[in-house]
Amino acid sequence: MRKELELPYYLSDFVLSMEKAYNLFFSERYDDCLFELESIEDIVPSILLAEKYYLMSITLSKWLDTASRERAVKCIEPFLVMSVINDEIEVWERIVSAYIIACVHNNDCDKAREYESKLQTSIGKRINFDIEASYKLNILRRKASSLYSPQQAFIGTSKSKSFFAPKEKESLPLNPIEYYMSLNNYLATSLMSGKYNLVTNEAAELISLPQKIKYLKFPRFEMPLNNAILIFYLNHKITVDEAKERFQQIIDTYNMEDSTGVIIKVNLAIFYGLSGEFVESLKILETLYNKIKFIENLEFYYKYLVEVNLRVLQYLEENKECIELLENIQKECAAKDEHYLEAHVKCIMDSIKQDEKISPISWYHADMVNSKMKHDDCWKYYGHIYLFGELEFWSES
């Protein structure tokens, strides 16, 4: 009887390899995970291959290079056709969710919005009677900033946070990991939407979750730490030097994926600048720029954060070429419909052209005035000479 129930060897090998790959993924060993996935032969049914390439896509999205991010899109495209996966709606919805973010990473937001609409329609058909549909909808809401303005994204992440939050005071959330990720993204969108003054308690709660729920491994804790430090600093709970020290501790402690490391190092560089250590700040940003400048079709957010913060520091070092380079960035913002980034870089250029005779440290600390934005809360975040980077969970896991 036992032998009759045994799987064919190629299926049992597939199951073992997928289990190993997922363990590597959740251990944040992405190179090893990809190696394991690539060792799986495509000889199993397509419904199983969909699982392989789903995990491959979200793994490849951890790197910034063009080849990995293009491959993250292409490897799951065949499984967007329902008939290929035996009309399994649950599998299709996970594939589409990963595909949306892979498209965003490739600057193809039109395609991402097209499939987000399809996914919402699919989920909406079951929302009134299927709790799994509600879960999926709120995972999708968690990722709202990938496609929407900061204000809209704040609404989406607020709904996601509320859905996954503990239902009673002092109780634990039913799904602590989902709550952790949605709370993190809620904090990130509170930063971008200028509502960070409302969330210091939530920031403290987020970074205490791993200590409170010790039996779980919370992924990529450097991301919540990044957002919490920014919130504490902007709410005057910690000083520039304390923030700088905490970012350095993150870099010294965590083995981060490329995309996360870029943003955390940008933030560290900004705090060096805020403390008047412009040479050290410039060194960090130049190293980052030399790392990303040859990556074709790099997600614009990373390019902007590194390059604009770098050009500002170069201006302080009397490098006049930076003005033309900032103008080029503004043109890119306009072409990509990056409203707040375009306003940010334009204000920087206006400030430079005024050439006010104030000290570099005073100029770097000064808030920028934009009459069109004076009633927009988002300008509380974007209205500085520098621009911090927030971090979010956009993958399913």
Which residue is listed with tokens 């699982």? 51
Asked whether 186 and 202 are in contact (CB, 8 A), the reply is yes
HEC profile of 114-177: HHHHHHHHHHHCCCCCCHHHHHHHHHHHHCHHHCCCHHHHHHHHHHHHHHHCCCCCCCCCCCHH
The answer to whether 96 and 55 are in contact (CB under 8 A) is no
Other CB atoms within 10 A of residue 178 CB: 20
pLDDT score, position 2: 38
- Are the beta carbons of 120 and 80 closer than 8 angstroms? no
Where do the domains of the chain lie, and which CATH numbers do they carry? 1-125 (1.25.40)
Exposure on the CB side of residue 173, measured as CA atoms within 13 A: 22
Per-residue pLDDT of the chain (397 residues; tens, 9 = 90+): 334 457 787 788 999 999 999 999 999 899 999 999 999 999 999 999 999 999 999 999 999 888 999 999 999 999 999 999 989 999 999 999 999 999 999 989 999 999 999 999 999 999 999 989 999 999 999 999 999 999 999 999 999 999 999 988 778 888 999 999 999 999 999 999 999 999 999 999 999 999 999 999 999 999 999 999 999 999 999 999 999 999 999 999 998 888 899 999 999 999 999 999 999 999 999 999 999 988 887 889 999 999 999 999 998 887 778 888 999 999 989 887 789 999 999 999 988 888 665 688 888 988 888 878 888 999 999 999 999 999 999 986 5
pTM of the predicted protein model: 0.92
Please tell me the distance from the alpha carbon of residue 346 to that of residue 336, in angstroms, as a whole number: 15
Q: 119: phi > 0 → left, psi -120 to 50 → alpha, else beta; which?
A: alpha
Give the type of residue at 337: D
Q: How far apart (Å, rounded) are the C-alpha atoms in residues 181 and 265?
A: 22
CB distance 388 to 372 below 8 Å: no
- What's the pLDDT at 40? 96
Pairwise CA distance, residues 70 & 51, whole Å: 19
